[in-house]
Amino acid sequence: MVTITAAELQKQFGRYRDMALKEPVSVTHHGRESLVVMSADEYKRLKSFDDRQALYAWELPEDAVKALAEVEIPDDGAQFDHEYK
């Protein structure tokens, strides 16, 4: 994600608008991230109900359960082992 200042956004709005259609653009104000500019389609996807559905483990679709059973954890994932012990 590209990070720019609010002043940069004002000066080159067209450039960053076009960029935000492809990937989110983080905007800082006084050195702190204050907002993210993204395409309307991406915003709608993030806000959709289907994209945020929470399920209990026993409610997961069979294909998801199978995929979880077959997943292989990469070697660099070992650094997080302490979090579930």
Rounded to an integer, the average pLDDT of 21-42 is 97
- pTM given for the model: 0.59
Give CA–CA dist 30/34, Å, rounded: 9
Domains and CATH numbers, the chain: 2-72 (3.40.1620.10)
Of 42, 6, 1, give the one whose Cα is nearest residue 27.
6
Instruction: Check pLDDT > 70 for residue 35.
Output: yes
- pLDDT confidence of residue 32: 96
Rounded to an integer, the average pLDDT of 8-21 is 97
Instruction: Check pLDDT > 80 for residue 50.
Output: no
- pLDDT confidence of residue 34: 97
